[in-house]
């Protein structure tokens, strides 16, 4: 019976078709984001899944691990595009206010590793070296007040591990987020 009504009302049929196709496109976009993969040299690599979310191939470069984690947490190469890693590694004398210069051969090896394993989810015009300045980071954290990052238990937006215990394994799943609360000072007697 509804078929005959739709046949008489092409506008209604068009609207229904538009709604269903929009839903299908949005669902496909979400699935594409969830099932992200990384391409290297024209071939896709399997992506490790943590908590049913995309992750990256585990960090295997020992020089990257040892040199970079001597000062900060292990940031996954997929958190920035290649252009950003190249820019950052090109100025280690002024690495966020610190001198992080490396032996040139080690610097080249780490830079090559970061570029090879960088993200392809960013637009080519995004030229940032702070992960917290990427549009992706901002979109994922848009519901948080900037004051949250200044809490004693967090310190800054760069301290991913303060809220994301699996950050060093690229597990930023929302169900595992624990945001430290602001603690009031103790009253002395």
* pLDDT per residue as tens, the chain (189 positions): 555 555 557 666 667 666 766 655 655 544 444 433 333 333 333 333 333 334 456 788 999 999 998 889 888 898 898 999 999 999 999 999 999 999 999 999 999 999 999 887 666 566 788 989 888 889 999 999 999 999 999 999 999 999 999 888 888 888 889 999 876 544 444
> What are φ and ψ of residue 53, in 5° steps?
-125, 155
For residue 17, the model assigns a pLDDT of: 63
List % helix, strand, coil for the chain (3-state, nearest 5).
45, 10, 45
For residue 19, the model assigns a pLDDT of: 73
> C-alpha angle with apex 29: 55 to 144, nearest 5 degrees?
65
Alpha helices in 35-144 (DSSP H): 62-68, 82-89, 104-116, 135-140
For residue 164, the model assigns a pLDDT of: 93
For residue 36, the model assigns a pLDDT of: 38
For residue 26, the model assigns a pLDDT of: 54
Look at the block and give the residue holding tokens 């004398």: 93
In terms of Cβ atoms closer than 10 Å to its own Cβ (0-12, 13-18, 19+), residue 77 is buried
Q: DSSP 3-state assignment of 40?
A: strand
- Domain positions in the chain are 2-34, 43-176
Check if the beta carbon of residue 56 is closer than 8 Å to that of residue 47. Answer: yes
**Residues, the chain:** 189
Cβ neighbours around 7 below 10 Å, total: 9
Prediction pTM value: 0.62
> What are φ and ψ of residue 180, in 5° steps?
-60, 135
């Amino acid at each position: 019976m509804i078929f005959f009504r739709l046949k008489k009302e092409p506008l209604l049929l068009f609207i229904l078709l538009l709604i269903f196709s929009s839903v299908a496109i949005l669902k496909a976009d979400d699935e594409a984001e969830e099932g992200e993969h990384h391409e290297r040299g024209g071939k896709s690599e399997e992506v490790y899944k943590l908590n049913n979310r995309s992750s990256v191939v585990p960090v295997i470069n020992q020089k990257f691990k040892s040199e970079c984690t001597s000062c900060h947490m292990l940031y996954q190469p997929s958190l920035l595009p290649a252009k950003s890693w190249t820019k950052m590694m090109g100025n280690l004398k002024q690495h966020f206010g610190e001198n992080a210069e490396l032996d040139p051969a080690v610097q080249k090896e780490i830079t090559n590793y970061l570029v090879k394993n960088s993200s392809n989810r960013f637009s080519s015009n995004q030229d940032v070296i702070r992960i917290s300045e990427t549009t992706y980071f901002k979109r994922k954290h848009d519901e948080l007040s900037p004051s949250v990052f200044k809490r004693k238990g967090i310190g800054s937006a760069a301290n991913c591990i303060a809220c994301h215990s699996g950050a060093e394994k690229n597990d930023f799943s929302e169900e595992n987020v624990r945001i430290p609360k602001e603690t009031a000072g103790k009253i002395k007697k």
